[in-house]
Amino acid sequence: MNVRSAGALVAAACLAAWCASTWVAPAIAAGTGGDADPLFEQPPAGVPNFTGKWLNAKPGGHLLTTSGSEPPLNAAGRAEYARRQAALKSGDHKVDPVSSCLMHGVPRLLYTSMPFLILQTTRDVNFVHEANHTFRNIYWNKAPGDEPDPSYLGYSVAHFEGKTLVIDSTDFNDLTWLDYSGLPHGEKLTVQERYTLENPNTIQGSLTITDPDFYTAPWTTRLTFKRQPGMALKENVCMDTHQM
């Protein structure tokens, strides 16, 4: 039987209420709509399908631009990055939000060493990650009436440009790191992901990061996902792992 100790720190109900206070929800468009209801658009016919199990070919690490140079941090960006680097070097890993099991944010979530599913449908495209069972639920259009509401994974909208899957994300909070090394960002961050199927087992991607709070100019980095047909997504529970 699983009756556990009554020494729980805080009542379950109190936590539920606490969690409730942290939700964000998309605005619900009012009314029953007219002839053309824009709440759910579909991608054009004949686009490639990215559905499958994938893994970043080079997880973790530090993001560099496509030319191999350091991202163009401004003075505030350099200061914040230096602060984080110093904390990590001194062994203070609590400075990393992921050490508290907070969501990785974008693009860092794409760089975990765990596999993820892309589930592309006519309704939406989902990135379902093994890492702390985190998912991004991305539609093909912005819902009418949606208002900015900062969140860990931002507000993403997908579309196709030819055979390239393009995902534009905005409305991030500033509680995540861009990469595992601690590159900073603010709430003005926008990320554009562009993915092409190089072959059935390889996705080539580029990410363009724009954030005037911490960078002097938009910059782009590249990444590769490899298909993982034999890999099963495991149940990964950050809060549980951390208590072991």
Nearest CA-CA partner of 60 in 29, 94, 96: 96
Does 119 engage in binding with another protein (CB under 8 A)?
yes
Does 233 engage in binding with another protein (CB under 8 A)?
yes
| Least gap, CB of 67 to another protein (angstroms) | 34
Nearer to another protein (CB atom), residue 161 or residue 240: 240
Structure tokens at 85: 């680097």
Q: Mark the segment that binds another protein (CB under 8 A) among 37-45, 61-69, 72-80, 84-92.
A: 37-45
- Residue 120 makes CB contacts below 8 A (sequence gap 6+) with 49, 50, 51, 126, 165
Does 37 engage in binding with another protein (CB under 8 A)?
yes
- The whole-angstrom distance between residue 225's C-alpha and the CA centroid of its chain comes to 15
| Least gap, CB of 177 to another protein (angstroms) | 15
3-state secondary structure of 14: helix
- Which residue(s) pair with 47 in the sheet? none
Question: Sign (positive/negative) of CA torsion 157, 165, 136, 98?
Answer: negative
Nearer to another protein (CB atom), residue 92 or residue 161: 92
> Helices marked H in the chain — which ranges?
12-20, 75-89, 238-243
Nearer to another protein (CB atom), residue 32 or residue 69: 32
Distance CA 144, CA 160 (A): 20
Does 90 engage in binding with another protein (CB under 8 A)?
no
Distance CA 157, CA 141 (A): 6
| Least gap, CB of 22 to another protein (angstroms) | 5
| Least gap, CB of 8 to another protein (angstroms) | 3
Q: Which residues bind another protein (CB under 8 A)?
A: 1-4, 6, 8-29, 32-33, 37, 39-40, 51, 93-94, 99-103, 117, 119, 121, 123-124, 126, 128, 132-135, 137, 139, 143, 147, 149, 151-153, 232-235, 237-240, 242-243
